[in-house]
Amino acid sequence: METTLRGVGVSHGVAIGEVRHMGTAVLEPPAKQIPAEEAEREQGRARQAVEAVAADLIARGNLAGGEAQHVLEAQAMMAQDPELMADVDRRIAVGSTAERGVYDAFAAYRALLANAGEYLAGRVADLDDVRNRIVARLLGVPMPGVPDSDEPYVLIARDLAPADTALLDPALVLGFVTEEGGPTSHSAILARALGVPAVVALPGAGELAEGTVIAVDGSTGEIFVEPSAEKRAEMESAAAARKAALSASSGPGTTSDGHKVPLLANVGGPGDVPAAVEAGAEGVGLFRTEFLFLDDSKQAPSEEKQVAAYRAVLEAFPEGRVVVRVLDAGADKPLDFLTPADEPNPALGVRGLRSLLDHPDVLRTQLTALSKAAQGLPVHLEVMAPMVADRADAKAFADACREAGLQAKFGAMVEIPSAALRARSILREVEFLSLGTNDLAQYTFAADRQVGAVSRLQDPWQPALLDLVALSAEAARAEGKSCGVCGEAASDPLLACVLTGLGVTSLSMGAASIPYVRATLAKYTLAQCERAASAARAADSAEEARVAAQGVLSGE
């Protein structure tokens, strides 16, 4: 009998197939004591296992490339963390085996991460995967992972580690469903990069029996268990129609009556550029520069290194628009040389622009590097600050840009409700706004974006969030300036139409989502988008808003 479950759709597309579960194993080693004379040997075993796992993660990253490479390199750094390894050595010195020392040291570090802000709490799954890989190597047992299968299947897991997600074969893994995770977890980000339909935060997913046929809608988050022949035909027909529309869609983003909505790409560095170009991105709406800084938490990258990375991205979009976010560090992405280590609530503390204003030399070097990278290029460079709270923040950033001699537009990200409420005031100091809907939702609803239990409050369809988007867009229109969206909301084709109707002037997303959004926008007029936006804002819940907008656009 067909039943319907609902999680959070994080990667577009439809997958229909039999369930296969991620391999699992108990990887907690026994707690036994070793003689003191064996400690040095056990410490050597632990170091060898750590280095082998780090090398394997880096090799997987090199194979995967793009966003996955950044993620796996970060995992390799986790494995080799000097403080973590020092703790392993201490535990072995007082009698633990290598595997137990690793297990207990990682458990202690895990507890710290879980309470250290939304970004780091979201990396717990990554840390668990690193621990499992090291312990499995020390125990001499296979690492749990993607099941072996000659036939295509839908993968079910508690959560997916980046090392597994990065190398999924889309020819075999039709889609995946996880019990945990959120729209901005690594598994969700990599699923979108791979173009694999995915649903996360589905309670009870692990209870689906092996071999059960399910249909996964990665756009709506719906899971149909043992779908009827009619439901399968309906979903397959919709998927075929969507594929045909994608193939026929090309060129700039526009509504059916010619209203232009530039479709831009979110990138983390030069490795993400080829996919963006192939998808037809009209530029970059969010260049996350923190990946450069996270390579070494002890010191900022040199000006020369920054210039080379920025120029590689700028050169890929001649005559295009490239919006660079200056370093967004603190709380969720702490850096030893920049952010405080003892804040009681880092997510609400010194992060983003606040960190940079406390360290003007770091900001000045980055702005100078951007200026040098753009020299002689026809690109339209725009630079924006993260976590702007008010006009004073916006003015301080604009002043820093001018003092660095930067020839570019200066903008502010709207991620804090105060910035949306006072958007017109902020626009007296800067030339554009960019809405980071992930953090804006988090701060609006006091709902950590990595926690599946509060995923309904992270839903970008929440009417309160749409109200804040509308306020920002109205302020920009009144000031004759632009207001884009660069959060995950832009990657939802239906929501992209609503955002356009709210007055948003550009949409930036992962490269894989651009064809979907382009094809959907081209089906509707601006007036239809505006009516859908009004209907969504009049609703009382995210689901009601989605249904109301869909009803308007489908003519119901």
Query: Would you name the residues annotated as active-site residues?
Result: 186, 486
Angle, CA of 352, 355 and 360, to the nearest 5°: 120
DSSP symbols for 13-31: SEEEEEEEEPP--------
Q: How far apart are CA 493 and CA 551, in angstroms?
A: 15
φ, ψ of residue 333 in degrees (nearest 5): -135, 70
| Burial of 404 per CB tally in 10 Å (0-12, 13-18, 19+) | middle
β-bridge mates for residue 260, sequence order: 254
Q: How far apart are CA 214 and CA 225, in angstroms?
A: 5
Q: Closest Cα partner for 312 from 341, 269, 348?
A: 269
CB 157 within 8 A of CB 22: yes
**Phi/psi class of residue 386: alpha, beta or left (left: φ > 0; alpha: ψ in -120 to 50)?**
beta
Which residue matches tokens 């880092």? 346
Helix (H, G, I), strand (E, B) or coil at 203: coil
How many helices and strands, by DSSP H and E, does the chain display? 24, 16
| Burial of 363 per CB tally in 10 Å (0-12, 13-18, 19+) | buried
